[in-house]
Amino acid sequence: MTDKFVLENREEILAELYPEDVLKLSSKLTDGEVEFLRQMVELLETKYRKDLNKHWYNNEVPEGFFEDMGELGYFTNPLLYQERELLQGTSQMFQFFFAFTLSRFDVSLNTLIGVHSGLGFNSFLLGGSKEQVEKYIPALATHQLRTCFALTEPNHGSDVAWGLETTAERRGDKWIINGEKRWIGGANVADVIPVYARDVETGKPRGFIVKREQEGVEIDVIEGKTSLKIVPNCNIKLTNVEVAEEDRLQKIERFRDIAMILYSTRAGVAHMAAGTMAGALQATLRYVKEREQFGNKISSYQLVQEKLAMMQVNVTNAMSLSAHIAELQENGSYDEVVSSIGKMSNALRLRETVSLGRGICGGNGILVENDIARFFADAEAVYTYEGTHEINALVVGRAMTGEAAFN
Ligand SMILES: Cc1cc2nc3c(=O)[nH]c(=O)nc-3n(C[C@H](O)[C@H](O)[C@H](O)COP(=O)(O)OP(=O)(O)OC[C@H]3O[C@@H](n4cnc5c(N)ncnc54)[C@H](O)[C@@H]3O)c2cc1C
């Protein structure tokens, strides 16, 4: 247990850090967590704000970003452990505000971190043996190693559990992997790639730790994206890739194990959607306070204020849902249905919110130089990944009716 960090002027800092938090949900954060988030915002604003839209337009990851986030230590910083043990991990409330705050700045950057620290990290943490956890988790937590998550395939997105085509064939103490993966965020820079494939003998899904540089692995970045342009999403071709049995993720035995990794991180996407809404709100507020029409600031018009209020209501609802989900995660009562409701609800409201903001900003709202255009475009990918609206609805519907409308 580390010494308790005490924040001077906590109220003022929180009011400045989270002006959209009208329900004061951020009061649930510890002083150390607030200080960490304050430092992160300072880093983002001073180092990455200036060229953010240019990076987005040019599909490029800002140099040094992954390393800077590793140095901040969002898994390991003692500020995050002032009231908890290192083994417990950071608090779920912190994880909500971390994703919220980073997405409010830029959701591509959060996606890059999220695929490493969420789906990728949890493939090792939940799918790995004790030895694999000990070998990989410390290096992944400190960003010494980079990972991603390779499940989706060219012909199988929503139905990947049912249709997984990538094959794994056991030959003695090694496996031979063949197949293709699509949309894999950050695969081109990952050191280790958890690849999911079907065991040709048993038909069951398995997970494998594939090295980016190894023979038979070809990676190309998908060109022409209009959403989350900073994130390099990749195709991976696997041709007779050899993986030792000891590099098979030992706890992945059926699709349920992969689904657990997916739903353990789906709350993170709900938090990202809440943050993206808040980013859109901030961008819109900046605009309406400057833009004049009919001789007045457009912020003074009733119809504009009604739309701003709608955006604020959506942010407020999304934040409360996320905060409550974080509490359920913390006390162990989070489940797949909660994860789907969180993602479905916040992503749906996100689309509405960015659209309202984009409309308020008029023609300038489609120009990349104005942040709202970026949030507007990025909302579409958030709406689709980690389970589309329809697939999450089917998870909820299955729980409500007892009838599975999908496999
Ligand atoms: C930016 C981005 C990043 C991503 N990153 C990763 C990653 O890092 N790793 C990874 O493995 N994957 C990743 N994905 C893949 C993502 O998870 C899939 O896009 C998602 O699962 C949807 O699959 P799909 O795009 O193939 O759409 P499809 O599955 O083809 O769906 C198309 C439409 O049909 C609907 N639909 C499908 N089945 C049904 C049904 N039974 N009933 C009603 N409607 C249905 C869907 O809801 C959707 O509207 C990423 C995707 C994007 C866009």
Look up the CATH number of the domain holding residue 312: 1.20.140.10
- pLDDT tens readout for residues 357-393: 999 999 999 999 999 999 999 999 999 999 999 999 9
Residues 61 and 133 in one domain: yes
Statement to judge: residues 95 and 226 lie in one domain: no
Is there a domain that residue 319 lies in? yes
340 lines ligand 1 (CB under 6 A): no
Task: Based on the fold, state whether residues 137 and 169 are members of the same structural domain.
Answer: no
Q: What is the pLDDT of residues 289-308, one digit of tens each?
A: 999 999 999 999 999 999 99
Sheet holding 217-221, edge to edge: 217-221, 233-244, 174-185, 167-171, 192-199, 205-211, 248-249
Q: Do residue 240 and residue 264 come from a single domain? A: no
C-alpha to C-alpha distance for 242 and 63, rounded to whole angstroms: 32
pTM over 0.85? The answer is: yes
pLDDT at 1 over 60: no
271 close to 100: Cβ distance less than 8 angstroms? yes
- Which ligand 1 atom lies nearest to the CA of residue 159? 29
43 shares a domain with 115: yes
- Residue 222 and residue 343 share a domain: no
Answer yes or no: do 174 and 242 share one domain.
Answer: yes
User: Which atom of ligand 1 is nearest the CA belonging to 406?
Assistant: 41
Which residue reads 């620290």 in tokens? 117
Q: Which of 253, 283, 303 is the last residue of a domain?
A: 253
pLDDT at 88: 76
pLDDT, greater one: 4 or 5? 5
Taking CA atoms only, the protein residue closest to ligand 1 atom 25 is 157
Please give the pLDDT value at position 87: 66
Please report whether residue 1 resides in a domain. Answer: no
Domain count, the chain: 3
User: Both 215 and 282 in a single domain?
Assistant: no
**pLDDT tops 70 at residue 277:** yes
Quick check: is 267 in a domain?
yes
Question: Same domain, yes or no, for 59 and 119?
Answer: yes
- Which domain, by its residues, includes 126? 10-141
> For residue 368, what are its two tokens?
């990349």
Query: Given 253, 283, 314, which residue is the final one in a domain?
Result: 253
- Residue 398 φ then ψ, to 5°: -65, -40
